[in-house]
Amino acid sequence: MGDPRHALGRAAEEAAAKLLERAGLRIVARNVKLRQGEIDLVCRDREVWVFVEVKCRQERWRDGPAAAVSWWKRRRLIRLAQGYLKWMRIGEAHCRFDVVAVTPRGDGRFEIRHIPAAFDATGVV
C-alpha cells in the first residue's frame, strides 16, 4: 500500500489539470522530471508556455496552499522551466508561472484556486 499523501497529491494534480483544461489551457506534460527537480504541469495557453506548481495543503494547516510556494520554490521552478525549454530545444518562448492551490474538503472534494501569473522570473538568477 502506498503513502496516502502521494495518492492525495496525484488526485490534487488531476483536479488541477481538469480545471486548467476547462479554462482553455492545453496540458503538454505532467510530472516532468529533470535533474534539478520536477515540474508538476507544463501547459500551453495559446502561444504562452505555462509552468504550473500544484500545491495541496490540508485546511487545518491554516496557511493556504499558495503560501507554500516560497521564494526558493519559485526560483527552482523558474530554473526547471529554463531546463525544460532547453531540453525540448525551444528557443524564444513566452512563459508564465501559475500556481494551482488545492485544499481537500471533508466530503472528498477539493477547493481549487488557479492563480495565473502568480510570479515571474524578474530578478531571479
Report CA torsion sign: 93, 24, 28, 36.
positive
Residue 61 confidence (pLDDT): 47
Q: 73 by DSSP, 3-state: which? A: helix
**Cα dihedral angle (21, 27, 32, 36), rounded to 10 degrees?**
-80
Residue 124 confidence (pLDDT): 56
**Which residue shows C-alpha cell 502568480?**
118
Residue 68 confidence (pLDDT): 59
Reported CATH class of domain 4-93+101-118:
alpha beta
Q: 122 by DSSP, 3-state: which? A: coil
The tens place of each residue's pLDDT in the chain, 125 residues long, gives 566 677 888 989 999 999 999 999 999 999 999 998 999 999 999 999 999 999 887 665 455 545 557 788 889 999 999 999 999 999 888 999 999 998 888 787 888 999 999 888 775 55
What radius of gyration, in Å, describes the C-alpha atoms of the chain?
14
- How far, in Å, CA of 121 to CA of 67, rounded? 18
Q: Are 78 and 93 in contact (CB under 8 A)?
A: no
Residue 7 confidence (pLDDT): 82
Residue 69 confidence (pLDDT): 72
Residue 114 confidence (pLDDT): 93
